[in-house]
Structure 1
Amino acid sequence: MVSKEARELSITLPRIVARARDIIDQDPHLSFVGYDVSIAPLVDEVTRSVGTVVSAVSRSLLDTAVATVETFFKGMLTLVITFYLLMGAERFKWWVGHHTPQPYRDELSPIVKEIDRILGRFLRGEVVLIVIMTIATWATLSALGIRYALILGLIAGILELIPFVGTWMAAIPAVVVAVATPSPHGWSPLVSAGIVGLAYFILRHAEDYFVIPFVMGRAVHIHALVAMFSVLSGAVLGGVLGMFLGVPTAAALRIIIGYIYGKLTEPMPAPDQDKMLLEAAVPVSEMENTG
């Protein structure tokens, strides 16, 4: 079923994009709750953008397909790399412990275990998010009568690997398909596109307020602003892979910084009472031996 929808979408994609451009050119207005909203200022920009997509697809459909497959496998490769890192965590912990001076091993062990636990829970959380958003998007688009709902759902799930912006990126092809294909409910193309956009908006906020706090909030325990900054920093430093690893890296740094802060602020250890008593008893023993 997935391969069938993928073949149909690859064949009809140029026609879908061209039809979307024609519809926007012909009727640049959107009626909503009795109000007529003009989108004329956006028509030129949308037309240019869509025209670029059409020409790109027409010039090299193979390049487009290769880029899509490459993006997919980059996401899968990210999961595989993270999985193998977790699988080799015990060996890595042994190596770190073996090369750590003996006095510090007891303090280092709980830190490494906590980081390992955070990474494992983060990876499991990402898999759960992908499954939830794939099913939710597929079910929503199917209920709205949007073609290629399964493919669009898989795209939404895979783009969950890109935090914050992945859902909005996944909404773009769904809106284009909604504009260019007839609605079984009799909606106009722009109304259909608006409803699909609203559906993605609701899914995004449902994910932010319910799914992510429940699934990921318990895993990494970092503030949303810190998570957003870590994602942006990861994007600058490492592209898509950096965006994916930004949050768990920030969580690991939180553990390390918390440990360092605790060591710097903890009170000085009290003198060893037993040692003091022993030292005080030495002169007495010497006096007894002398006598």
Structure 2
Amino acid sequence: MELNRQLIWKLSVIGLILLVLWKVISEPDTISQMMHYTFQLLTPIIMGIAIALLLNTVLSYIEERFQLKRYQGLLIVYIVFIGILVISAVTLFPRIYSSLASLIEELPSYIRQIDGYLSQLNTYLKEYNATVAQAIDFSRFQERYSGWVETAVLSSVSYVSSFTMTLFNFLIGIVISIYLLKDKEIFARMFKRLLYAIFPVASAKTTIDIFQEMDYIFKRYIIGKSLDCLIIGVLAVAGLLIIGAPYALLLGVIVGVLNFIPYVGPLLGMIPAFIITYFYDPFTALIVLLFIFLLQQFDGLWLGPKILGDSVGITPFWVITSIIIGGSLFGLVGMFISVPVTAMIQVVFSRLIDYRLSRKNLNELL
């Protein structure tokens, strides 16, 4: 009887996996839209869980260190957490907004400079080789500037709307995280009871161990990477101020935030810094490019490994692959969370592979 139940359970899981794979292959756009919509609905809950995981370490420490009750620990942790956010919003964000507004005001002059460069290049090509000039007609780009400006304005409105929704989801996430931390022992006990009720004892214990390892990886990666990006952002702002680059605070924040994305992020941070500074002064732009490149090398070769170590334990191939998939499905947020999520998925598959190999007595051979 027990064997039949296990067989039915395995066949059901295999059937569900095959059904999902068939849907993904036959209707990729529909599946992608469903996943994107589901992710949007679950965003406040995901943010709440992430905030709770980050603050749980601090909460547990101060409760044990100072013998505080739960409500006292929650009050201290969230006063500090929200205080840091408010101080950042009051001191940092207005300056970033001012730099961004100034940059938008100067955007038409940058477009005119690009128009001049393309006109000169188009004239040169016509004089040099009529065939090449016909093949690469830069005047077509000039005719499309009005459309580009309109698209840029619409994109700005879309980004403002997206930022407002993200802020709202973040506030809801804070509320959710408070309730999660307040009753974390109850949720943990419910989860354990559910596992032991559904799975055999050995499988339930293994599942709990996997979730504990995933929790450790997530917290270590997020906390370590946040500290790493903060240091790089501060160094970037200081270096850009010394160099005399325009919008040093804005560009430094961009470099620090995008540094959260492994491998791809540093490149994404260099591009806007170079382009914006180029319109100000080409020579300064080259210095900025060299400075950010050296800063990223310092981070990749020394600072990052010093802080993070081998916190995720996945190869660069899987890191880049996860960033591409996460970015295509969920945009910038997907790129940020793709690496720790992939690391946690790897934990599950590694445990599964080890279990299957041990059943076949192949662990020592492979």
TM-score bin (small chain): 0.5 to 0.7
Match of 1:63 in 2: 154
Taking the aligned partners of 1:168 and 1:73, their CA distance within structure 2 comes to 27
Distance 1:48 1:123, change over 3 A: farther
Stretches of structure 1 lacking an aligned partner (at least 5 in a row): 28-40, 184-188, 269-291
1:84-129 per-residue CA deviation (whole Å, 9 max, x = no partner) reads: 6798484664443221135143332222111111111222123223
**Residues 103-182 of structure 1: pairs in structure 2 closer than 5 A:** 103-104=201-202, 105-181=204-280
Instruction: Report the counterpart of residue 234 of structure 1 in structure 2.
Output: 326
Please give the alpha-carbon distance, in whole angstroms, between the structure 1 residues aligned to 2:343 and 2:217: 7
Q: Which residue of 1 aligns with 2:295?
A: 203
Q: Are the aligned partners of 2:273 and 2:288 in contact in 1 as well (CA < 8 Å)?
A: yes
Measured after TM superposition, the shift of residue 180 of structure 1 is: 1.6
| Residues 14, 54 of structure 1: 8 Å contact kept | no
1:10-21 matched pairs, under 5 angstroms: 10-19=104-113
- Report how far residue 150 of structure 1 moved: 0.4
Q: How far is the alpha carbon of 1:70 from its aligned partner? A: 5.4
User: How far, CA to CA, are the matches of 1:116 and 1:233 in structure 2?
Assistant: 22
- Give the corresponding residue for 2:103: 9
After superposition, the Cα gap between the structure-2 partners of 1:241 and 1:141, relative to the gap in structure 1 and judged at 3 Å, is: same
In the superposition, the TM-score normalised over structure 2's length comes to 0.55
Counterpart amino acid of 1:262? Answer: D
Q: CA deviation at 1:235?
A: 2.5
Structure 2 Cα separation of the partners of residues 174 and 206 of structure 1: 18
In structure 2, runs of 5+ residues without a counterpart are: 1-94, 122-132, 361-366
Residue matched to 2:68:
none
Determine the structure 1 residue equivalent to 2:285. Answer: 193
Rg larger in structure: 1
1:125-171 per-residue CA deviation (whole Å, 9 max, x = no partner) reads: 23223312321221221121111100111122232344432232232
Q: Matched residues in 1 for 2:264 and 2:287: separation?
A: 20
Give 2:103's aligned amino acid: L
- Counterparts of 1:217 and 1:51 in 2: how far apart (Å)? 51
Give % identity.
23
- 2:100 alignment partner AA: A
Please show how residues 47-62 of structure 1 align to structure 2 within 5 Å.
56-57=148-149, 59=150, 62=153
Q: Distance in 1 between matches of 2:298 and 2:165?
A: 27
Query: With structure 1 as the length reference, what TM-score do the two structures score?
Result: 0.67
1:222/1:251 contact within 8 Å kept: yes
Measure, in 2, the Cα distance between the counterparts of 1:233 and 1:50: 34
Report the counterpart of residue 350 of structure 2 in structure 1.
258
